[in-house]
Amino acid sequence: MDDGSLEEMREASGGPWGGKSVDDEFEKYIEQIIGTESMQELKTAAFDDYLELMRNFEMKKRSVKPEKEGNIHLSVPLGLVQIVKKDKSKKSLEKAIEMSPYAGKVTFENWKLKWKNEDFLRFFESTIKKIKAHFREILYDSDMSDVETILMVGGFAECEVVQKAVKEHFKNKRLVVPDDAGVSVLKGAVFFGHVPDAITRRKARYTYGIQSWPAFNPTKHPESKKVEVNGKPRCKDVFFKYVTKGQVLTVGYEKSQIFQALNPREKKLECAIYISDSKDPVFVDDDGCRRLGVLVIPLPNLPDGAAIELEESMIFGETELRFQARDIFSGRSYEVQMDLLGDLDNDA
């Protein structure tokens, strides 16, 4: 931007395609050799050996070269060998390999598993395929047509196998991998904490809204959602949208709406906040919808028949979403904060 700040042109997206997904491929590979029960025993009765096995793989995963000839040797902990020996159908790790789908692709010699370099690289194939497919989806978007540079950060970005795959697949783009790419994300987070206005415009990653209970309309609401509240038919679980996925948000952007409490005699009102991967969710239990958190609002004591009106607001900014409710009668406000960097599958 002209003032030196950054504008996010497309909402953050992606999937579980980092170094952990390569570890998962390796773990499935070992399980197919030794069997599900033996793998479970390794994780429980010999957990230290399981950690040693995965640490050894991590070292090889980081050091493997994409074009190097030769073999990859991986040390195997004693506990794994002993567990396989107890399996009467396999009796030894060598025999287990011969009986597996990977016979001839891997051997066990001198307490080490041995692969040809090209066979070891297959642990990366699924992950890299998904990364490239997602890159294509983003870069072939008309809004991204003028993107010239791919900047790779994070620990997995230091892997030469990944770098080579991206460079070869997107030859018309400039690839930049900074020094200490593994700590670039941490450094950026610290900088952002000190300079929160470094990014002045973002794209909403999800559609944000709350659960509402409007009057039941038989022409647009299914009968299964019909409930009776204070003698009046209502539709439950309706997603009332505040922000649409992909919408431009400036720091401090606020969206407010006034609602009436359905039952003013209650002592408190629980307002559930939801997110959705869809731009136009209809109900909070639609596919792709998840509850982000709940704001509990104490209700004032009013005379019978009096309506309680609440102004409910979402405020976007920095790394947190703030949700605020104000009792219009008393002027009191209540607020809850949700960490947008945490696991959105769990309630805040």
The C-alpha atoms of residue 153 and residue 185 are separated, in whole angstroms, by 7
The answer to whether residue 348 scores a pLDDT higher than 50 is no
The pLDDT-based confidence of 343 (bands split at 50, 70, 90) is: very low
Q: Sorting pLDDT into bands at 50, 70 and 90, what band is 318?
A: low
Question: Across all residues in the chain, what is the average pLDDT?
Answer: 87
Closest CA to 69 of 115, 22, 105: 115
- Between 103 and 318, name the one with better pLDDT: 103
Q: What is the pLDDT of residue 196?
A: 79
**pLDDT for 334:** 76
Predicted pLDDT at 41: 95
Judge residue 239's burial from the number of C-beta atoms within 10 Å of its C-beta, 0-12 exposed, 13-18 middle, 19 or more buried.
buried
Tokens of 30: 């070992």
pLDDT at 292: 85
Euclidean distance between CA atoms 241 and 220, whole angstroms: 17
| Residue 11, pLDDT above cutoff 70 | yes
Q: What percent of the chain clears pLDDT 70, i.e. is strictly above it? A: 93
Output the pLDDT for position 340. 47
Give residue-wise pLDDT tens across range 29-88: 999 999 999 999 999 999 999 999 999 999 999 889 888 788 999 999 999 999 999 988
Express each pLDDT in 186-244 by its tens digit: 998 888 888 878 888 888 889 999 888 889 999 989 999 999 887 889 999 999 999 99
Q: Calculate mean pLDDT across residues 106-129.
A: 94
Angle between helices 47-63 and 36-44 (to 10 degrees): 100
Average pLDDT on 170-188 reads 91
Helix (H) / strand (E) element for 268: namely strand 268-276
pTM of the shown model: 0.72
- What's residue 271's pLDDT? 81
pLDDT at 26: 96
> 308 φ, ψ to 5°?
-100, 120
- pLDDT, tens digit (0-9, with 9 covering 90-100), for 267-295: 777 788 899 999 999 999 999 999 988 87
Q: Provide mean pLDDT across the span 250-275.
A: 81
> Which tokens is 166 given?
């991206």
Distance CA 25, CA 43 (A): 16
Judge whether residue 342 has pLDDT over 60. Answer: no
Sign of the dihedral through C-alpha 205, 210, 211, 216: negative
- pLDDT reported for residue 305: 58
Mean pLDDT of 288-304: 78
Instruction: State the virtual CA torsion across 18, 23, 26, 32 in degrees, nearest 10.
Output: -110
CA 220/CA 209 separation, integer angstroms: 19
Label residue 103 by pLDDT band (50, 70, 90): very high
pLDDT over 60 at 266, yes or no:
yes
pLDDT at residue 306, as a whole number: 66
